[in-house]
Amino acid sequence: MSSKAVFSTAVAAILGATMLITGPSFAASTPAPAPATTKPAAADRPVAKAPAETRAPRAVPIRTKPRFTG
Amino acid sequence: MHDHGRAVGLFCTALTIALLGSGCGSSAADQPESRLGTQPTAQLQISSTADPGRSRPAASRIATAQVAQVNIHRTPGGEVRSSLPNPTAIGAPLTFLVLESRPGWLRVQLPARPNGSSGWIAGSDVRLSTTQYRLVISMSRHQLDVMYEGRRIARHKVGVGKVATPTPKGTYYLTELIQPPDPDGAYGPYAFGLSAFSTSLKSFAGGPGQLGLHGTDAPHGLGHDVSHGCLRVANTVITHLADRLPLGTPVEIQ
């Protein structure tokens, strides 16, 4: 085997190994397939949203004579 | 020469297998694991940043009537035991402090005798809101603490009921805010009505014996048992409170 043939074999082996290495890592970065969608159980289903509760505003005074016990 | 070539081939094959083995190990097994390992950490960091530490106490829920008359039920959807007009007799929006809720129904404290009574109202009859304010009155210390988000933000002297006309203990709420015609009179510039009633007076000054939180024209009585059951504070204090507190604010009398 000539030195040229030895060199070619070594390069081919390294290239092959590199492809084998990068191949799986590239494949690993591919997003996994989405899980099969299933209908959620009744308990998991979103219920109708209650109306948002706001912060109560300050009281509006009424001009009149109080009749509290004092 | 042949032996040398075979040796190089074996070396390359071994190298390939070794690299292949290590490549498979890191790509197929470690990487997904490391992803799963880092993702929760990132989520934890985010959540710990979002929560600064102290959790806010639950706000009080206030129900304000949206209909002309609110029926009070004994149970959710059950028998109607009474009804309350909206607005109230003096023109204030009918307001309740919410004690409990079930789908479509609210158990609320009622602005009626006996003190602390409650009933169920339809959720569709009211609009809900919240407040972080709360007033806590210590009758023995004659102190009124203004609480916000569970923390005391102010403390004031308060005059409370005399022995013959005591201020009833319990948790109540503000039902109305009145601005008397004479700001220098006995009630001061403002008077909040409470959902509490005197236990010794069935009526007073033409009213039903309802308790109030108001100012005073006798500031020397602050810090003492001087009233017919009402809570008296300085005029500057009641003005400050009137500028901030919503109807429905809980008032705890200890």
pLDDT digits (tens, 9 = 90+) for B42-101: 222 223 333 445 577 789 999 999 999 999 999 999 999 999 999 999 999 999 999 999
What pLDDT, on a 0 to 100 scale, did the predictor assign at position A12? 56
Give the mean pLDDT of B30-40. Answer: 30
Say yes or no: A46 contacts chain B, CB-CB below 8 A. no
| pLDDT of B19 higher than 80 | no
Cβ–Cβ below 8 Å for A69 and B210 = yes
Task: Tell me whether 0.90 is exceeded by the ipTM.
Answer: no
Which amino acid, residue B35? R
**Residue located via tokens 């390069």:** A11
Give the mean pLDDT of A51-70. Answer: 91
- With beta carbons less than 8 A apart as the criterion, state whether B70 and B125 touch: yes
**Alpha carbon of B42: minimum distance to chain A alpha carbons (Å):** 19
Using N-to-C axis directions, what is the helix angle for A3-29 and B31-50, rounded to 10°? 40
Cβ–Cβ below 8 Å for A68 and B191 = yes
What pLDDT, on a 0 to 100 scale, did the predictor assign at position B56? 73
pTM for this structure? 0.69
More confident residue, B143 or A53: B143
Ramachandran angles phi, psi of B217, nearest 5°: -105, 5
Q: Determine the length of chain A.
A: 70
d(CA B52, CA B116): 37
Residues of A in contact with B124 (CB under 8 A): none
% of chain A with per-residue pLDDT over 90: 23
| pLDDT of B202 higher than 70 | yes
Give the mean pLDDT of B134-163. Answer: 98
Nearest alpha carbon to residue B62 among B86, B94, B85, B89: B94
Cβ–Cβ below 8 Å for B180 and A65 = yes
Residues of A in contact with B248 (CB under 8 A): 56
| pLDDT of B219 higher than 90 | yes
Say yes or no: A51 contacts chain B, CB-CB below 8 A. yes
d(CA B105, CA A50): 12
What pLDDT, on a 0 to 100 scale, did the predictor assign at position B72? 98
What pLDDT, on a 0 to 100 scale, did the predictor assign at position A3? 59
Per-residue DSSP letter, B25: I
d(CA B60, CA B75): 22
- With beta carbons less than 8 A apart as the criterion, state whether B198 and B228 touch: yes
Residues of B in contact with A62 (CB under 8 A): 90-92, 176-179
Alpha helices in A1-70 (DSSP H): 3-29
**Residue located via tokens 């929760």:** B40
**Residue located via tokens 């694991």:** B33
Confidence class for position A46, pLDDT limits 50, 70, 90: very low
Residues 144-203 of B with CB under 8 A from A: 165, 174, 176-181, 186-187, 190-193, 198, 201
**Residue located via tokens 């706000």:** B59
| pLDDT of B1 higher than 70 | no
Cα B33–Cα B35–Cα B40 angle in degrees, nearest 5: 105
| pLDDT of B200 higher than 50 | yes
Cis peptide before B114 (omega within 30 of 0): yes
Strand partners, B170: B253
Q: Which residues contact B171 (CB under 8 A, 6 or more apart)?
A: B109, B116, B250, B251, B252, B253
Structure tokens given for B211: 């308790």
| pLDDT of B211 higher than 50 | yes
Exposure string over A9-39, b if 16+ CB within 10 A, otherwise e: beeebeebbeebbeebeeebeeeeeeeeeee
Structure tokens given for B49: 């940043």
